[in-house]
């Protein structure tokens, strides 16, 4: 059955009627459509542009596709209707078109240095194998490749690049030749500089970004997914590492403390910024609304730009059209105007995914 929704459509700020026919939106009236809502504020479905539905709470790989389905449903039920899985140790391509699941943009497995990353999560390879592994993981995902750009090097006692600069640059080139976009986990200063200048498509976390590099990202259009919910955990990471690796612990705390200013500088420079929580492993699912609020409160994004980062802007970046003629029938209805108070994003009244109403928990 066709659905009808009326409300103030964002970001256009226009009172509008939308008809949802199957998985698409039309602005032309549809006779007999069921009215779901005739008031409120209509936002294109929210996005978590960095999470992992192939990792169970605690960090181990999931064991069945139903596990992935359950984790994605946690996000969906908060209004997150599109997900970019930034690396999964468990493949679940059968969910790409599942009518009950958020839209999925997926990387394959993390590509990681040998014995320097989370156990059983990544494909661990030496430098000569990275390019071939990028090709393989481009085929395993549906448009993205994920590198672990840096991690703690226990021999150094601090963060260090996963591979040499030439290997990192070649990985970016290989992904693009394979027709995929590529992103990387980066905490420190060195690897992110190489990757941005090599033309990487997005930076995950990015705590080691410099002002000069922020300007380079803006020039190139390189996206930043700050995962501020994740960065808040750096204190506990540092405390666990302090006895054995005091230099690393101190470094992580400096990165944490300076990060709001880094994100603010990226925002002021015009870097595209998108909401991502790093859910999966140590971060719970369903926190996109909190991440969106942190971008406003801690990094100074305006309410409209924070909404763009977590809704229509992120959807466009991932290739999922918004609330326009022929767009995808994914939207969230709010009673209050989220531009006035972003906390409204945490209280959806109606969620519609792929033209079907999703019950709002509680």
240-276 pLDDT, tens per residue?
A: 999 999 999 999 999 999 999 999 999 999 999 999 9
pLDDT for 67: 96
Above 90 in pLDDT, residue 281? no
- What is the chain's alpha carbon radius of gyration, rounded to the nearest angstrom? 20
Q: How far apart are CA 161 and CA 195, in angstroms?
A: 10
pLDDT for 37: 98
Above 90 in pLDDT, residue 145? yes
What is the set of domains in the chain, with CATH numbers? 3-43+320-358 (2.30.40.10), 46-318 (3.20.20.140)
**Percent residues over pLDDT 70 in the chain:** 100
pLDDT for 100: 97
Segment among 55-59, 127-131, 336-340 with least mean pLDDT: 55-59
Average pLDDT over residues 40-51: 98
Q: How confident is the model at residue 1 (pLDDT cuts 50, 70, 90)?
A: confident
Gap between the terminal Cα atoms of the chain: 25
**Percent residues over pLDDT 90 in the chain:** 98
pLDDT for 319: 98
Q: Which residue matches tokens 């605690």?
A: 58
Q: How confident is the model at residue 58 (pLDDT cuts 50, 70, 90)?
A: confident
Average pLDDT over residues 212-226: 98
Q: Where are the alpha helices (DSSP H) in the chain?
A: 65-76, 130-140, 165-177, 190-198, 211-220, 228-231, 234-241, 246-269, 288-299, 303-310, 312-318
pLDDT for 25: 98
Supply the pTM of this predicted model.
0.97
Segment among 52-61, 193-202, 253-262, 292-301 with least mean pLDDT: 52-61
Q: Specify the pairing of strand 350-353 against strand 331-334.
A: antiparallel
């Amino acid at each position: 059955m066709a659905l009808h929704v009326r409300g103030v459509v964002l970001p256009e700020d226009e009172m509008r009627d939308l008809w949802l026919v199957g998985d698409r939106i039309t602005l032309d009236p549809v006779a007999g459509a069921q009215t779901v809502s005739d008031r409120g504020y209509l936002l294109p479905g929210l996005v978590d542009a960095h999470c992992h539905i192939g990792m169970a709470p605690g960090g181990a790989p999931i064991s069945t596709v139903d596990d992935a389905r359950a984790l994605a449903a946690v996000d969906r039920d908060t209004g997150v209707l599109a997900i970019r899985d930034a690396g999964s140790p468990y493949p679940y391509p059968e969910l790409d078109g599942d009518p009950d699941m958020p839209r999925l943009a997926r990387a394959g497995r993390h590509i990681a240095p040998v014995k320097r990353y989370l156990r059983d999560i990544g494909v661990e390879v030496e430098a000569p194998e990275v390019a071939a592994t990028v090709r393989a993981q481009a085929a395993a995902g549906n448009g993205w490749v994920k590198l672990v750009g840096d991690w703690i090097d226990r021999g150094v006692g601090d963060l260090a690049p996963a591979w040499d600069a030439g290997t990192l640059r070649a990985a970016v080139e290989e992904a693009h030749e394979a027709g995929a976009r590529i992103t990387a986990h980066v905490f420190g200063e060195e690897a992110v500089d190489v990757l941005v200048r090599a033309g990487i498509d997005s930076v995950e976390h990015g705590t080691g970004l410099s002002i000069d590099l922020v300007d380079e990202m803006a020039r190139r259009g390189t996206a930043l997914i700050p995962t501020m919910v994740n960065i808040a955990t750096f204190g506990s990471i540092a405390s666990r590492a302090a006895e054995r690796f005091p230099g690393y612990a101190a470094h992580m705390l400096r990165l944490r403390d300076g990060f709001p200013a880094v994100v603010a500088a990226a925002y002021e420079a015009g870097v595209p910024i998108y909401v991502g929580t790093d859910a999966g492993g140590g971060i719970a699912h369903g926190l996109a609304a909190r991440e969106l609020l942190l971008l406003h409160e801690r990094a100074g994004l305006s309410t409209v730009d924070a909404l763009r980062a977590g809704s229509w802007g992120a959807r466009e970046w991932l290739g999922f059209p918004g609330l326009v003629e022929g767009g995808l029938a994914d939207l969230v209805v709010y009673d209050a105007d989220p531009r006035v108070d972003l906390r409204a994003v945490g209280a959806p009244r109606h969620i519609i995914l792929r033209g079907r109403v999703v019950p709002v928990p509680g």
